[in-house]
Amino acid sequence: MKQKLMTNLVGLILLACGCSVVQAQEISLSRSAPYETEHDIANKIINECTTLGDKLSSFTQSYADKNGIKINLVDQTNTSAAGKTLKLEISDAVSAGNAFIGHRKFVEVKGSLWEDGKIIGSFRGQRSSGGGAFGAYKGSCAVLGRCVKTLGKDIAAWLKNPVDGARVGE
């Protein structure tokens, strides 16, 4: 009872003086993870799977939120800006096979976390998929989307302990 009373009293004091509990800093992330500048990704993937980068950023944000990490999606990231920034790029993607003979899809990403213009950590990650349940009814972009969904979960887990040179995913 005394502990609850003290907690309420501390809360009232903070409220009265206009103080607030310090919350974790938000991380800025590009709304759409771009393809790495130097890549050998097939044009059919780039031209047909136009939302792959959007999905990667969105899934990363969603899974980070579930881990208590706040990500703010922005139009363009700046690694030299104040605060934390996650630079994320799709470095490779392969779309072999199809619904009839079986999907063989693969996505590789690389990323780095920056704070006030200094790198905190970096990673490379990859995931592959054959389409999962009912894969024969999915298109190639949907199966690549499964890869980036799981990569988003992997990246969110890495953000809890961002070490340099990490490998995430498979």
Q: Which domains does the chain have, with CATH numbers?
A: 23-169 (3.30.160.180)
pLDDT in tens, 139-165: 789 889 999 999 999 999 999 999 999
pLDDT in tens, 47-97: 999 999 999 999 999 999 999 999 999 999 999 999 999 999 999 998 887
Report the Cα–Cα distance between both ends of the chain, in Å, rounded: 50
Predicted confidence band of residue 39 (pLDDT cuts 50, 70, 90): confident
Calculate the alpha carbon distances from 121 to 34, 113, 161 in Å.
19, 5, 9
Token pair, residue 42, equals 């097939």
Question: What pLDDT, on the 0 to 100 scale, is given for residue 132?
Answer: 60
Q: Is the pTM of this model over 0.85?
A: no
Quick count: other Cβ atoms within 10 Å of Cβ 72?
13
- 8 three-class SS: helix
Calculate the alpha carbon distances from 159 to 27, 87, 154 in Å.
10, 12, 9
Under 8 Å between Cβ of 67 and 160: yes
The lowest-confidence range among 21-25, 114-118, 139-143 is 21-25
Is the pLDDT at 11 greater than 50, yes or no? no
Question: What pLDDT, on the 0 to 100 scale, is given for residue 38?
Answer: 83
Under 8 Å between Cβ of 169 and 127: yes
Give the C-alpha separation, 98 to 100, whole Å: 5
H helical segments located in 91-139: none
Quick count: other Cβ atoms within 10 Å of Cβ 13?
10
Under 8 Å between Cβ of 78 and 43: no
